[in-house]
Amino acid sequence: MWTREEIELESNLEEKGLKLVDKNSHQKDLRLWACLFNYRQRMYGVSGVRMFWAAAKRGDFQVPMTGVYAQLFWGEFVKLGLQDDVVLSEIIVYANQRMESTKERWSELYIRIVQQMILSGRGEEAVNAHERLFQLHAPDSIRFANMICEVVAGEGDASILSEIYVKSNYRNIYGKVVPFLCEQEDFDSAYRWHFICITRGDLPVTSRVTEPLVHFYAIYDRIRATKVTGSLVKAGIPFASSISSTLEDTAMISREMVNLMHGETFNMPAKPYNDRLGARWFATRWISLDVAMTAISALGVSEIGPLSLQALALREQDAESITRRINQLKDLNISIGSSIFSRSVEKFARTQNQAYLDCLLQSDQHPNALEDSKFQEGLLISYARSGDSLRYQLTLAMRLISSRNPDMETKNILLRNHAKTGDTTALLASLHKMQVEGEIITVNTVKTILRSVLRPRQPGRRPITLPIKQADDLKMAIDILKGIMQSGSFVSATYWREIIKRLGMLGRWKDLEDLCVFLASWYGPANRETFLNSATRRRFHRYRVPAQVRTIHPLHPLKILFPTSLQRAIVEWGFMCALKAPFVEKESNGLIHKAKPSLSVTAGIQLLKRLHAYHVHIDIHSVRKAIFDRLVVYYGPGQSSKVYNRRGRENNTLQLEEMAAQIDQALGVRMFDSPHLREVIERRSEVRLRKVGRKIAGRLGMTGQETLDLP
């Protein structure tokens, strides 16, 4: 450390005597020179700077051209030169000599001198300095363009600036100067510099740098806008046509604004706010958001749409700034609307959830797509499968924002996702938890679960029989739907019809019978919910059909569950299940004798009688027709083309009279035990054969197939 006396002595370059900097080992030590210079400048001001400049002229040390020390020395020397014309002239001479001898120069010399002269009103001197410095110390085009921007922003002499620009050889500053002036909302200066540059062949490279100027004048000065676009066309700029289109579009925005603001004055019908045009207005970067919002407020607009909010938010990006803009809109009595997009942007902005906000604003989805819940749920499945957790969580969060009951909605969405992704374990676990907690399982969730659990089935075809070791999809579907109903959630009767049909087609009679009786008791008027707890009973009561509604009403669940077509099918399934296997069995001695079937051919009729006890209306005409159809198959002439019909006929060991007696006994009335029964069956067979013949004749004309099998 030096004492005050020591540093005073060492920094006094005018006093004779050997100094530390005079020694060869320290003569080029810039750190030492900078330390002494700082002290002398701080203590003696201009005189201290002048002392070191004199030393530099004598060659006691070389002023550095780059780095922090260059900024230190040159900055102070130029300040001195701007106060003393003699020193300034010496600085220029010194700089020129260094450039010629060592090819080194301080890159900021031109800008520091010329810019400061223009800003201080020394225009003629600035032009002279330009002419003396430009050949050896010209800045690059970016620095020159920045100088123009700073001088214009500092309200320097624009005429001197343009004279210097014209004297220079720069022809690529348009893209820097004109957009900067537009951002500063100094459109008059931007307009002047547009033509200064265009005249010198300094042309815009892209339409983006010119659009702000065109946008502004298209709204506020149509004549100037036309001149700008005309100058671009005349200069042969390739994108001039697109700029002209921009002019028309912006003019349309302008006309729309005039319409909104002064419609009544000009006897024009006022139109509602156009969200698409509003979005373009907010997205235009030539005008600040403050001005844009004030203009919208002046139009009397009370609400902006999601596209406008998106454009505004993209201008700000961060959550805090977006929140401030939303508050600013509300202060102007402008609502952002109730769309899911708008509510989501506000929610994420106010909760500082920047990750969700960025993902939403940068999304390629149209804001209106968020209103499509089915589409959004499809995206959830896609994100879950691809492992895109951010978009998954974001989409889920937005779905909840639009929900009246977010907790219930969340659980139902997750349940549906488990179903759609085939995660049966998670599905059953979540379902059980919701049932225990008494959560409502929505109709949409029930439908989704059913579609995911049941295997695909082609219309008119029975489901494929699964190997024994594989899961029983029908049993799982039945257990799930029963659990949902018993927990108090609504399950439409229509969802059961496919399950009933599959059980019948697969010949699972016991399951079919148990399910039909359960459903008749559940949906029928006999159900008094005695087995439900009070909370579940209250929810279930809302889904019940009043007892006064007769079960034959088309909208009654029992009528929906058991239409006449299903009643016919139940009767026929009873016959087919009973005749799946032959009524014979072998004894140990090898003898074969007639065995008692495990299921009666009248099982379907008996099931309908049980259902009737639960107030299911039975259509006796349909039942009678189904019985006759079975009798024709088993006792009529001809042969069915269906394998199960032929097998049933082979396995049937009952005489027609025996079967008729069993049928009448099941019906409880004499209807088929008649000596004329066989004649009736033959007549019906003939009628069916004629119908089949006509169908075959028509088919032969198309496919050439030939068969006289009875269906």
Q: Determine how many CB atoms are found less than 10 A away from the CB of residue 23.
A: 10
Per the CB < 8 A criterion, the answer to whether 578 and 507 are in contact is no
Per-residue model confidence as pLDDT tens digits over 570-626: 999 999 999 987 655 545 555 554 555 578 999 999 999 999 999 999 999 999 999
Whether 409 shows a pLDDT value over 90: the answer reads: no
**Angstrom distance (rounded) from CA 221 to CA 209:** 19
Give the DSSP letter string of 523-585.
HSTT---TTS-HHHHHHHHHHSPPTTS-TTSTTSHHHHHS-HHHHHHHHHHHHHHHTSS-SEE
pLDDT at residue 272, as a whole number: 60
Pairwise CA distance, residues 519 & 2, whole Å: 103
Q: What is the pLDDT of residue 465?
A: 66
Looking at residue 17, its pLDDT comes to 62
Q: Read off the pLDDT of residues 615-639 as tens digits, 9 standing for 90 and up.
A: 999 999 999 999 999 998 889 887 7
Query: Is pLDDT above 60 for 256?
Result: no
d(CA 193, CA 178): 7
Looking at the DSSP bridge assignments, the partners of residue 585 are 593
CA distance 584 to 258: 95
Residue 290 confidence (pLDDT) above 90: no
pLDDT-based confidence at 342, cuts 50/70/90? Answer: very high
- pLDDT given for residue 529 in this prediction: 52
Band (pLDDT 50/70/90 cuts) for residue 264 is: very low
12 or 392, greater pLDDT: 392
Buried b (16+ CB within 10 A) or exposed e, 676-696: ebeeebeebbeebbeebeeee
Query: Is residue 704 pLDDT above 50, yes or no?
Result: no
Residue 385 has pLDDT above 50, yes or no: yes
Res. 346 pLDDT band, cuts 50 70 90: very high
Q: In 115-140, which positions are buried (b, 16+ CB within 10 angstroms) versus exposed (e)?
A: bbbbbeebbebbbebbebbbeebbbe
pLDDT at 535 over 80: no
Q: 3-class DSSP state for residue 253?
A: helix
Q: Is the per-residue pLDDT at 454 higher than 60? A: yes
526 pLDDT band, cuts 50/70/90, is: low
- What is d(CA 294, CA 575) in angstroms, rounded to the nearest whole number? 81
pLDDT single digits (tens) 303-325:
899 999 999 999 887 899 999 99
pLDDT band at 686 (very low <50, low <70, confident <90, very high): confident
- Residue 242, pLDDT > 60, answer no
Contact 347, 381 (CB under 8 A): no
* pLDDT level of residue 711 (50, 70, 90 thresholds): very low
Q: CA-to-CA distance for 654 and 352, rounded, in angstroms?
A: 80
CB 157 within 8 A of CB 121: yes
Query: How remote is the C-alpha of 70 from its chain's centroid?
Result: 54
**Least confident range of 57-71, 266-280, 489-503, 600-614:** 266-280
Percent with pLDDT over 70 in the chain: 84
**pLDDT the model gives residue 18:** 67
pLDDT of 706 reads: 41
Q: Mean of the pLDDT values across residues 474-480?
A: 91
Q: Which of the listed ranges 115-119, 288-292, 551-555 does the model predict with the highest average pLDDT?
A: 115-119
Q: Is the pLDDT reported for residue 709 higher than 50?
A: no
Q: What percent of the chain has pLDDT over 90?
A: 25
Residue 135: partners with Cβ closer than 8 Å, 6 or more residues away: none
Confidence class of residue 171 from pLDDT cuts 50, 70 and 90? Answer: confident
Q: Which two tokens stand for residue 176?
A: 């820097």
Q: Where are the domains of the chain?
A: 1-106, 272-371, 562-711
Task: Using pLDDT thresholds of 50, 70 and 90, give the confidence band for residue 513.
Answer: very high
Would you state the pLDDT for residue 249? 52
Per-residue confidence (pLDDT) for residue 694, from 0 to 100: 76
At 22 the pLDDT is 63
Distances (CA, A) of 321 to 309, 363, 550, 608: 13, 19, 63, 70
Quick check: pTM over 0.85?
A: no
As given in the structure block, the two tokens for residue 603 are 């099982």
Mean pLDDT of 676-697: 79
Amino acid at residue number 342: S
- Residue 357's pLDDT is 93
Residue 250: per-residue pLDDT? 52
Which three-class secondary structure state does DSSP give residue 457? coil
**Residue 70 banded pLDDT, cuts 50, 70, 90:** confident
Query: What is the rounded average pLDDT for all residues in the chain?
Result: 82
Highest mean pLDDT among 279-293, 467-481, 659-673: 659-673
